[in-house]
């Protein structure tokens, strides 16, 4: 199969919070859920200037539009990046004790500042 990515992924674990999901006109904000506010605190596995791979506790539909906050560390500090993305694929994985999902997200609508910071971190870890 031919590789479709423009950039090699940097393998780096980091915290990510999926703030909201919009799929087929249905809009959900997870920070407003009182019963389970950490429902969508997840782990980033790798990233590039074009997208990220996330290990997720729940499946999210392909082509969902998501808002997220990422905390990507470097040797000095944690870098908070806010981004919008579109889920391009997901895959269920069965672990030793439970199942989880891997999802691929394509970035969209990144600000210039966020893109610059993301590229700097990507170059450091690739």
Give per-residue pLDDT as tens, 8-48: 888 999 999 888 788 777 777 665 555 444 446 889 999 99
The maximal CA–CA distance of the chain, rounded, in angstroms, is: 44
pLDDT band at 57 (very low <50, low <70, confident <90, very high): confident
The DSSP secondary-structure symbol of 114 reads H
Give per-residue pLDDT as tens, 82-124: 999 999 999 999 877 778 899 999 999 899 999 999 999 999 9
Phi-psi group of 78: left, alpha or beta (phi > 0 → left; psi -120 to 50 → alpha; rest → beta) = beta
Residues 6+ apart with CB under 8 A from 73: 14, 79
Fold topology of 11-120: Thrombin, subunit H (2.40.10)
């Amino acid at each position: 199969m031919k590789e479709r990515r423009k950039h090699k992924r940097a393998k780096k674990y980091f915290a990510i919070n999926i703030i909201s999901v919009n799929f087929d006109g249905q809009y959900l904000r997870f920070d407003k859920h009182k019963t389970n506010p950490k429902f969508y605190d997840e782990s980033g596995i790798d990233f590039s200037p074009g997208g990220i791979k996330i290990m997720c506790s729940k499946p999210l539909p392909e082509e969902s539009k998501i808002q997220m906050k990422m905390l990507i560390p470097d040797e000095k500090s944690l870098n908070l990046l806010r981004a919008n993305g579109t889920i391009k694929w997901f895959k269920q994985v069965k672990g030793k004790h439970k199942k989880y999902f891997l999802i691929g997200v394509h970035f969209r609508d990144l600000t210039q500042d966020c893109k610059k910071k993301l590229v700097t971190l990507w170059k450091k870890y690739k």
